[in-house]
A and B are shown apart, each in its own frame.
Chain A
Amino acid sequence: MSEKTSNPASIDNQLFELFDCVAEYQQLRSSSNILLRQAFFDLASAKRSAGYQWISPDLYSGRAHAIATVSIGEEHPIDMRVVRNNSRIDNGNEKGQGGDREKTDGGLKRRSRRRLSSDESEHAKLTASGDEDEEDLPGDTEKPDKKQRSVAVNDPLLWFGMLVPPTLKAAQSGFVSSLDKFVQLAQLKHRLVQQQQALQEAMAGTTA
């Protein structure tokens, strides 16, 4: 008798939770759609501004690799998170995930070494500027206006040059932000399916 009276209430609660989850999913999907739509529009604006030859897949790096990945827990698939490999070089000392990396040189030596050694990792080859490399060159003196700075090694914006239009930066920002929302959407979808299954089981139990 007490089970029959408690089950309808718990089913109602499960149903309300499911509705809340659906509403949250729809809201997140709507916001990510808006973000993506604006990002693609900004990309089109950037192409119009800089020229269709300059912002195209033709300028993608041949050694491009993912700088953000999504890790999925083996035991709990709902445990998804974005892992970003934002390696940064600060005055020639590499910091970031993966521990210490081999120091690299500028464009000239980087190209020569790659021909000689094919065993270097892709991370070891990347460098954002030539200033850090001057420390490796014998006999070089420091330039008096050398700046202390930290630069993003893996920024794909550099493929299109240093002076890219602001719309391209806005597009990149939009695409980067939308990745987090996609992971949240996947997590919500997984939770929705679980809640739906639990609700169906509960309803089947009351009708039995």
Chain B
Amino acid sequence: MNEIYFNAYAGYLEGVVRGYRDGLITAPQYLNLTQCETMDDLKLQLATTDYASFLQNEPSPMSTSTLSARCTDALVAEFQYLQQNAAEPISKFLDYITYGYMIDNVILLITGTLHERDTHDLLEKCHPLGFFDTMPALCVATTVQDLYSTVLVDSPLAGYFRECLSAEDLNELNIEIIRNTLHKAYLEDFYAYCQSLGEPTASIMSDILKLEADRRTVNITINSFGTELSKDDRAKLYPRLGNMYPEAQTRLARVDDIDQVKAILEQYSEYKAMLVGVSLGASSGGTGANDVTLEDRFFAREVQFNKDSFEQQFHYGVFYSWLRLKEQEIRNVVWVAECISQQQKDKINNYTSIY
């Protein structure tokens, strides 16, 4: 029955997002990008993509940060077109997607205020997709209680703050805990909402969000080595969903080095295949020309799930998948730009091609 009525309220937007999907950079285009010698060459090659109008007025030489910002502007413009033309229930799904960016903006403002950055500058650096009305007031909050009671209680993030209210002072450790706790609550809430939408959205988004949860679990584990974050606090930051929940998470919470992480992941068939040929000690992009990291494998797996999402119709997952694929594309383009500007041509092919 879903198929009968889907096109009535979301058919146009699904057509639009499939058009956006067709505008993603293909493998031959990536080859042309990797053969560029300078940033001007890269800009010339990108003139045939969806980023042309956003890059044409940028003066040369263009920096990689500028390239990243303009590509993000292109993504924001396309997503906001979808939002402006969406009605219920698709508008609620699109709103859910923006909550992740809201969390990032909240943390950016709190961190910037803690470090005495100018409020006006901070607001300009916030992600446009995560903007909400009371966001500028975040800069005057001094405790978590103030944060919640004066600013966030009327925002969509209010429900996610319940687990953060025990934090007292806003220092680096507590802010990191708040950030990851918010993302955890958001992911769990988004998962529950997708399940309530029924098939096929539920199953498609389930796979994607579970992978996201697993990726967050591994990243939190690896990034917490050598920090002040205790093992108990680390365990509290893991999302309560995903293939690693609860058994692998319980074990990952107690590990002390990256070899132990690998030993745990190898016991799960879906991640054992990902670990083949992976250099866990290498940086993202690899220290050598062909080094692959676990993060690269997670990116590749995420791309595959998001591509598969377009194989079915009449579900909302295509909107989320397109956004993630677009973000991956931006990541790829900026990576190529960094390798060109740093003359690291041997590592330029360490991107995750989409089509």
Interface residues of B in 186-237 (CB under 8 A from A): 219-220, 222-230
Asked if B284 and A49 make an inter-chain contact with CB atoms under 8 angstroms apart, the answer reads yes
Given A63-B116, A151-B228: A161 touches B65 (CB 8 Å cut-off): no
B136 within 8 A of A: no
* Bound-state Cα–Cα, A64 to B352, Å: 36
Q: Mark A148-168, 1 if CB is under 8 A from B, else 0.
A: 010100000011011111110
| Interface contacts beyond A44-B285, A149-B228, A159-B111: sample of 20 additional A-B pairs, CB < 8 Å, sorted by A | A37-B342, A48-B335, A58-B108, A58-B112, A58-B117, A59-B108, A59-B115, A61-B115, A61-B117, A62-B115, A62-B118, A106-B171, A108-B168, A108-B169, A108-B170, A130-B174, A162-B175, A163-B224, A166-B222, A166-B283
Asked if A41 and B342 make an inter-chain contact with CB atoms under 8 angstroms apart, the answer reads yes
* Bound-state Cα–Cα, A147 to B114, Å: 24
Asked if A163 and B180 make an inter-chain contact with CB atoms under 8 angstroms apart, the answer reads yes
Chain A residues whose CB sits within 8 angstroms of the CB of B115 once the complex forms: 59-63, 159
Q: Across the two chains, which residue of chain B brings its CB closest to A38?
A: B287
Point out the residue from B169, B219, B227 that lies within 8 Å of A130, measured CB to CB: B169
Q: How far is the CB of A104 from chain B (nearest CB, A)?
A: 11
B295 within 8 A of A: yes
Given A48-B284, A130-B171, A163-B224: A145 touches B230 (CB 8 Å cut-off): yes
Asked if A44 and B342 make an inter-chain contact with CB atoms under 8 angstroms apart, the answer reads yes
* Bound-state Cα–Cα, A53 to B180, Å: 16
Tell me if B's interface is mostly helix, strand, loop or mixed.
helix
Point out the residue from B117, B122, B229 that lies within 8 Å of A163, measured CB to CB: B229
Q: Mark B119-157, 1 if CB is under 8 A from A, else 0.
A: 001100101000000000000001100000000000000
Asked if B176 and A108 make an inter-chain contact with CB atoms under 8 angstroms apart, the answer reads no
Asked if A165 and B172 make an inter-chain contact with CB atoms under 8 angstroms apart, the answer reads no
A128 within 8 A of B: yes
B262 within 8 A of A: no
Q: Across the two chains, which residue of chain B brings its CB closest to A161?
A: B176
Given A49-B295, A52-B68, A128-B172: A161 touches B114 (CB 8 Å cut-off): no
Chain B residues whose CB sits within 8 angstroms of the CB of A48 once the complex forms: 284-285, 331, 334-335, 338
Chain A residues whose CB sits within 8 angstroms of the CB of B342 once the complex forms: 37, 40-41, 44
B49 within 8 A of A: no
Chain B residues whose CB sits within 8 angstroms of the CB of A145 once the complex forms: 230
B179 within 8 A of A: yes
A42 within 8 A of B: yes
Q: Mark B157-187, 1 if CB is under 8 A from A, else 0.
A: 0000000000011111111100110000000
Chain B residues whose CB sits within 8 angstroms of the CB of A178 once the complex forms: none
Asked if B108 and A53 make an inter-chain contact with CB atoms under 8 angstroms apart, the answer reads yes
Chain A residues whose CB sits within 8 angstroms of the CB of B117 once the complex forms: 58, 60-62
Asked if A53 and B283 make an inter-chain contact with CB atoms under 8 angstroms apart, the answer reads no
Q: Mark A7-41, 1 if CB is under 8 A from B, else 0.
A: 00000000000000000000000000000011011
Asked if A58 and B171 make an inter-chain contact with CB atoms under 8 angstroms apart, the answer reads no
* Bound-state Cα–Cα, A123 to B282, Å: 36
A80 within 8 A of B: no
Q: Mark B43-85, 1 if CB is under 8 A from A, else 0.
A: 0000000000000000000001100100000000000000000
Interface residues of B in 300-350 (CB under 8 A from A): 331, 334-335, 338-339, 342, 344, 347
Asked if A162 and B173 make an inter-chain contact with CB atoms under 8 angstroms apart, the answer reads yes
Q: How far is the CB of B94 from chain A (nearest CB, A)?
A: 20
Q: How far is the CB of B158 from chain A (nearest CB, A)?
A: 22
Point out the residue from B108, B111, B171, B283 that lies within 8 Å of A41, measured CB to CB: B283
* Bound-state Cα–Cα, A170 to B295, Å: 16
A5 within 8 A of B: no
Q: How far is the CB of A99 from chain B (nearest CB, A)?
A: 25
Given A42-B283, A106-B169: A163 touches B220 (CB 8 Å cut-off): yes
Asked if A162 and B283 make an inter-chain contact with CB atoms under 8 angstroms apart, the answer reads no
* Bound-state Cα–Cα, A23 to B170, Å: 52
Chain B residues whose CB sits within 8 angstroms of the CB of A162 once the complex forms: 172-173, 175-176, 224, 227-229
Asked if A108 and B143 make an inter-chain contact with CB atoms under 8 angstroms apart, the answer reads yes
Interface residues of B in 13-29 (CB under 8 A from A): none
A45 within 8 A of B: yes
* 28 A-B residue pairings within 8 Å (CB atoms): A37-B344, A38-B287, A41-B342, A42-B283, A44-B64, A45-B283, A47-B338, A48-B335, A49-B295, A52-B68, A53-B104, A54-B104, A58-B121, A58-B125, A59-B111, A59-B112, A62-B117, A106-B169, A106-B171, A127-B171, A129-B171, A158-B172, A159-B111, A161-B111, A162-B173, A162-B176, A162-B228, A166-B222
Chain B residues whose CB sits within 8 angstroms of the CB of A147 once the complex forms: 228, 230
Q: How far is the CB of B195 from chain A (nearest CB, A)?
A: 28
* Bound-state Cα–Cα, A83 to B328, Å: 42
Chain A residues whose CB sits within 8 angstroms of the CB of B118 once the complex forms: 62
* Bound-state Cα–Cα, A25 to B228, Å: 41
Chain A residues whose CB sits within 8 angstroms of the CB of B219 once the complex forms: 163, 165
A77 within 8 A of B: no
A121 within 8 A of B: no
Asked if A165 and B125 make an inter-chain contact with CB atoms under 8 angstroms apart, the answer reads no
Q: Mark A93-131, 1 if CB is under 8 A from B, else 0.
A: 000000000000011100110100000000000011110
